[in-house]
Structure 1
Amino acid sequence: MFPVKLSSPRLGMREFEPGDVDPLLAIYGDPLVAEHMSFEPRDRDQVTGIVDRAMKAARRPERNEYSLAGVLPGGELVAHLRLAVDIGHPLQSSGQIGFAFRADQWGRGLGGHGIQLLLRLGFEHLGLHRIWGARSPVNERSARVMAQEGMVEEGTIRGHLKLAGGWRDSVVHSILRPEWDGQDEE
């Protein structure tokens, strides 16, 4: 699917563009934002690489990476929204979401809109059956927003990520298509 362009009343989701490096750097270069991520704060060259890879991945015939800009109604980029689709196994129909918002946008309810857009993309447009996401065990904001959007906490992956401070666990949340659209399990 290209180009991706979805919106809710408060947030839009679109493909990355070359001019998105500085707004994305304001997210991924911020130590406060990176505190709960699976990586250390990024520098300008790293963010340029993220934007370049996202633009290239968007045009692949067998696209499995949806790395998208989250934008306010006026067009201001305030988030990175990601859906990675597992296309390696013919019996699987799942995807993993990730999201990061600029710190000055926290607490405004935009996280739920970002998750809703990712779920719409995965379930309505890509036909997925299961979507999951992982969070830092101390990131209670992510826990709350995923729960509010119907994602169920499944458990903890112990020693999942090696960061500068050592190994970190991740807590997994998921939602199935029938749960999302209110239908009974098939």
Structure 2
Amino acid sequence: MPQAPAAQAGRKPSRIQLRNRKRILEAALEVFSTHGYRGATLDQIAAEAGLSKPNILYYFDGKEEIHVTLLNQLLDAWLAPLHAIDPAGDPLDEILTYVRRKLAMSRDLPRESRLFANEILQGAPRMGPHLESVLKPLVDQTSMIIQGWIAAGRLSPVDPRHLLFSIWATTQHYADFEAQVGVLMGEVDVHAGASAHLEAMFGRLLRPNAAMG
């Protein structure tokens, strides 16, 4: 029976152990984003990583632990742009910067976006507690910031939560439906066009004089 990794035994993991763990997570990201949680197997992850299945189980208890580890890492990255919204900044600049950051994540992290989308589509069986304890307080806080800007006349009236949902939906579409977007858009720079379109759309929606045309 293999011994537990050094990190589990209270010792600092070696460079080889850190490298193999990263290798496994990278392979698992590819497998989960392609096949979803239910369709993914440890054999597929092992093959993608170029390691044996027992080697995978040396570092992780099983498929679920690998998946939860990836989701936890993803949630930290996913929430960083929301944390970066500055209550003291210019409201429209802050929102449009957030849109740009979310679109850049769709461009740079499409597999991570699909991993998260698959988890939510399944009812968030592994992420449910994190959505309640981590995401909801942050969205509540951000909504209060946006509502304060609206009350001060610095943004047009919108529902802050529906605004965030709209930003998530429009930016993450370019990752979650990447194959369809690629076929329909051809060889053009999709994300440059998307950025210009989304900034214009949300800018018109949120500028205080938008209702005046």
Normalising by structure 1, we get a TM-score of 0.25
- Tell me which of the two structures has the higher relative contact order, counting C-alpha pairs closer than 8 angstroms and 6 or more residues apart: 2
Normalising by structure 2, we get a TM-score of 0.23
Greater percentage in helix: 2
Greater percentage in strand: 1
Question: Larger Rg: 1 or 2?
Answer: 2
